[in-house]
């Protein structure tokens, strides 16, 4: 009996023993589950920052053992262009190569890898348990075996396919490709050392997740109210299990939201990671991976309205609808509400209470004297340590609803207003009359003349409330305002400077005691055709 015959007999015997053991353990040869393999990095989502425009900043991390400094991974997320970072958490390690393709391929041709049985055995031993494609020669004919790399013996390898098991002599193997693990990561240590293991991280921005804020304002007394912010989290991206989820107030400016990222080492949005990543993760992203920012600079008071990818989640698109976008924050100025240990799988929604605080409020009455009525507003003072994002707000008092309207973005230390109702207890009326006319004051042509007319107006107000009220009056006039009493503030419309198109406005802010009446007067002049 020659050596080749003996090798085949041993291979068949080992194949039968392995098959019997697998059947006895009731194991499935192939599974859709991720392989539990020491050299395969299976990073789990540890933290997510969710923006209101349908984008989420995901961070994954996990331990892995390296084979000659390499690890494999099957997770290539749909990261937006310029937002993918792969890095090491270890202070003495650095990710220096990231490759992506159909799967790692090794050819035993003396160039790519040594053409020896020992080299084949060593490489295949490292991939045991993974799905592979083995190319080999049988009687000088090329053959292929596809399946789970089940066992590696001294002179042969067993590949368990869905229908057949293959016992392939090691000396006949010409090429091996690892399947379903397209990502390859190489980590180097200090002084050229090859680390044995470590903790890898991945950060990326993707579409398919959003949060929708809404407020509840409960009036407690004449000066105090309780404001509650809840966020409806809609997840059409990927499973979130036991993660810290940050609800971000502020929408960053991303240029390339319609493009996925080409695989590149260390591309991440610097401003996002600075705002939402923990300190230790932020440091690693900065120092252990190269950074490429999507935007050279951000403009103050820009309104960002990025489209939502329908393929990433139709539910997100439908719920976003015409919801208000965040307005007013610079690209790196965010307020973050964090909910720890939150689980929300893809396709699920959750309502999360983000804060409940006592705030001070007062009242203001606003009268648009040019056709609008008197409106009553609650002025909310943001003395908390966070900004308030834009969202609908329901106001209640003694379990009775007072109003439902939009609370616009309020920075820390600022004020926001919520309309309550028409102010029927503040009586108000307006009247105007002509007090002077200069005939033919201007003649643009020899047969066309304009008169300069001066008009005087009166605004009368009376307070029927049992408390002092603050009233803000805005009065637009179809001409150039020239006088206003009671410290009225005059402004002109610089876009309407032609003689017959001149316009302006007058603004007052006054206080009315209970039962008090006041009359405000003003004058303006306008050119009209002579009769």
SS (H, E, C) 399-418: CEEEEEEEECCECCCCEEEE
Q: 504-512 and 489-492: which strand pairing?
A: antiparallel
| Alpha carbons within 13 A on the beta-carbon side of 107 | 4
Q: Which residues contact 251 (CB under 8 A, 6 or more apart)?
A: 51, 52, 53, 304, 306, 325, 326, 329
3-class SS shares of the chain: helix, strand, coil, % to 5: 15, 50, 35
Q: What is the pLDDT of residue 350?
A: 95
Q: Which residues contact 20 (CB under 8 A, 6 or more apart)?
A: none
Q: Which 3-state string (H, E, C) describes 264-287?
A: CCCCCCHHHHHHHCCHHHHHHHHH
Q: What is the pLDDT of residue 199?
A: 93
Q: What is the dihedral of CA 161, 162, 165, 166, to 10 degrees?
A: -30
Q: Report percent pLDDT > 90 for the chain.
A: 50
Q: What is the pLDDT of residue 240?
A: 94
Closest to 192 (Cα-Cα) out of 360, 69, 99: 69
- Token couple for 207: 């579409």
Distance from the first to the final alpha carbon of the chain: 128
Predicted TM-score (pTM) of the model is 0.69
Across 235-249, 307-321, 326-340, 473-487, the highest mean pLDDT is recorded for 473-487
Q: Which helix (H) or strand (E) holds 320?
A: helix 314-320
Q: Report percent pLDDT > 70 for the chain.
A: 77
Closest to 392 (Cα-Cα) out of 225, 230, 210: 230
Return the residue matching tokens 């007058």: 506
- The β-bridge partners of 265 are none
Q: Is the confidence at residue 24, as pLDDT, over 50? A: no
Q: Residue 262 burial by CB count (10 A; 0-12/13-18/19+): exposed, middle or buried? A: exposed
* φ, ψ of residue 264 in degrees (nearest 5): -150, 145
Q: What is the mean pLDDT of residues 275-292?
A: 51
Q: What is the pLDDT of residues 218-243, one digit of tens each?
A: 999 999 999 999 999 999 999 999 99
Q: Is the confidence at residue 391, as pLDDT, over 50? A: yes
- The β-bridge partners of 327 are 303
Q: Is the confidence at residue 256, as pLDDT, over 90? A: no
Q: What is the pLDDT of residue 13?
A: 41
Q: Is the confidence at residue 278, as pLDDT, over 80? A: no
Q: What is the pLDDT of residue 329?
A: 37
Q: Is the confidence at residue 296, as pLDDT, over 50? A: no
Q: What is the pLDDT of residue 323?
A: 38
How does the average pLDDT of the chain come out, rounded?
80
**Can you give the residue ranges of every domain in the chain?**
3-203, 209-258+268-353, 426-529
Q: 44-50 and 240-249: which strand pairing?
A: parallel
Q: Are 170 and 137 in contact (CB under 8 A)?
A: no
Q: Residue 301 burial by CB count (10 A; 0-12/13-18/19+): exposed, middle or buried? A: exposed
Q: What is the pLDDT of residues 331-344, one digit of tens each?
A: 335 678 889 999 99
Q: Which 3-state string (H, E, C) describes 437-501?
A: EEEEEEEEECCEEEEEEEEEEEEEEEECCCCCEEEEEEEEECCEEEEECCCCEEEECCCCCCHHH
Q: What is the mean pLDDT of residues 164-170?
A: 88
DSSP secondary structure string, 58-88? EEEEEEEE-BTTEEEE-----PBTT--EEEE
Round to whole Å and give the CA distance between 473 and 429.
12
Q: Are 426 and 466 in contact (CB under 8 A)?
A: no
Q: What is the pLDDT of residue 180?
A: 86
Three-state secondary structure call for residue 27? coil
Q: Is the confidence at residue 140, as pLDDT, over 70? A: yes
Compute how many other C-beta atoms are within 10 angstroms of the C-beta atom of residue 14.
Answer: 17
Q: What is the pLDDT of residue 22?
A: 42
Model confidence band, residue 280 (pLDDT cutoffs 50, 70, 90): low
Q: What is the pLDDT of residue 30?
A: 32
Closest to 106 (Cα-Cα) out of 123, 90, 92, 118: 123
Q: What is the mean pLDDT of residues 498-519?
A: 96
Sheet holding 335-344, edge to edge: 85-88, 197-207, 55-65, 44-50, 240-249, 335-344
Closest to 307 (Cα-Cα) out of 260, 269, 257: 257
Q: Which helix (H) or strand (E) holds 108?
A: none
Q: What is the pLDDT of residue 468?
A: 95
């Amino acid at each position: 009996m020659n050596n080749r015959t003996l090798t085949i007999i041993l291979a068949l015997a080992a194949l039968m023993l392995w098959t019997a053991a697998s059947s006895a353990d009731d194991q499935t040869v192939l599974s859709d589950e991720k392989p539990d393999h020491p050299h395969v990095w299976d990073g789990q989502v540890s933290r997510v920052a969710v923006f209101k425009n349908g984008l989420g900043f995901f961070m994954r991390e996990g331990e892995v053992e390296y084979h000659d400094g390499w690890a494999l991974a099957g997770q290539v997320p749909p990261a937006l262009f310029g937002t993918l970072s792969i890095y090491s958490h270890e202070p003495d390690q650095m990710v220096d190569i990231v490759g992506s393709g159909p799967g790692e391929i090794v050819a035993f041709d003396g160039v790519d890898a040594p053409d020896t049985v020992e080299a084949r055995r060593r490489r295949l031993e490292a991939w045991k348990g993974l799905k592979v494609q083995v190319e080999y020669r049988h009687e000088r004919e090329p053959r292929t075996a596809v399946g789970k790399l089940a066992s590696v013996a001294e002179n042969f390898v067993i590949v368990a396919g869905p229908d057949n098991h293959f016992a392939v002599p090691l000396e006949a193997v010409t090429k091996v490709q690892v399947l379903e693990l397209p990502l390859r990561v190489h980590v180097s240590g200090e002084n050229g050392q090859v680390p044995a293991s470590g903790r890898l991280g991945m950060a990326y921005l993707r579409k398919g997740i959003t949060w929708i804020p809404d407020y509840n304002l409960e009036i407690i007394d004449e000066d105090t109210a309780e404001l509650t912010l809840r966020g409806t989290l809609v997840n059409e991206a990927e499973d979130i299990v036991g993660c810290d989820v940050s609800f971000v107030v502020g929408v960053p400016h991303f240029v390339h939201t319609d493009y996925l990222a080409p695989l590149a080492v260390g591309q991440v949005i610097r401003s996002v990671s600075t705002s939402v990543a923990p300190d230790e993760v932020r440091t690693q992203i900065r120092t252990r991976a190269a950074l490429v920012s999507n935007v050279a600079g951000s403009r103050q008071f820009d309104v960002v309205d990025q489209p939502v990818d329908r393929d990433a989640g139709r539910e997100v698109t439908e719920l976003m609808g015409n919801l208000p976008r965040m307005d007013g924050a610079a690209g790196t100025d965010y307020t973050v509400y964090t909910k720890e240990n939150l689980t929300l799988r893809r396709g699920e929604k959750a309502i999360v209470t983000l804060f409940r605080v006592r705030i001070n409020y007062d009242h203001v009455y606003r009268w648009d004297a040019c056709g609008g009525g008197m409106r009553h507003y609650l002025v909310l003072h943001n003395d908390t340590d966070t900004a308030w994002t834009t969202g609908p707000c329901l106001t209640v008092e003694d379990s009775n609803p007072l109003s439902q309207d939009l609370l616009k973005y309020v920075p820390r230390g600022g004020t926001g207003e919520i309309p309550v109702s028409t102010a029927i207890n503040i009586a108000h009326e307006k009247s105007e009359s002509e007090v002077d006319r200069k005939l033919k004051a201007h003649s643009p042509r020899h047969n066309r003349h304009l008169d300069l007319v001066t008009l005087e107006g009166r605004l009368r107000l009376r307070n029927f409330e049992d408390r002092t009220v603050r009233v803000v009056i805005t009065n637009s006039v179809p001409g150039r305002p020239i006088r206003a009493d009671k410290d009225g503030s005059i402004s002109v419309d610089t876009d309407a400077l032609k003689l017959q198109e001149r316009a302006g406005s007058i603004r007052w802010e006054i206080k009315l005691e209970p039962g008090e009446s006041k009359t405000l007067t003003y004058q303006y002049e306008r050119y009209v055709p002579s009769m």
